[in-house]
Amino acid sequence: MIQKKDFSNIHKQIILSNQKHKCKKCGIKFNISHLPNFSYIDGNIANNVKSNLQVLCLDCSKKGKNQ
């Protein structure tokens, strides 16, 4: 069984900053109504490399799982 590795808060802040605090897919700015959701680009929860992390809004994150 593959064990999920969590990204550190520092990694999350770097990715948020790199994405200008916006969803990678739809571009909506994160705020209290639109919270960020960190996801693995390649879907591999054990791949904990910074380049494998993206930040999506909850709507885009849900759409990706349903496709």
4 within some domain? no
30 within some domain? yes
Residue 26 structural domain: 9-66
What are the backbone dihedrals phi and psi of residue 57, each rounded to the nearest 5 degrees, phi first? -75, 165
33 within some domain? yes
Overall number of domains in the chain: 1
38 Cα distance to chain centroid: 2
Q: What is the pLDDT of residue 26?
A: 95
1 within some domain? no
3 within some domain? no
2 within some domain? no
pLDDT for residue 66 is more than 90: no
Instruction: Summarize pLDDT for 4-63 with one digit per residue, the tens.
Output: 667 788 888 999 999 999 999 999 999 988 889 988 889 888 888 888 889 999 999 888
56 within some domain? yes
48 within some domain? yes
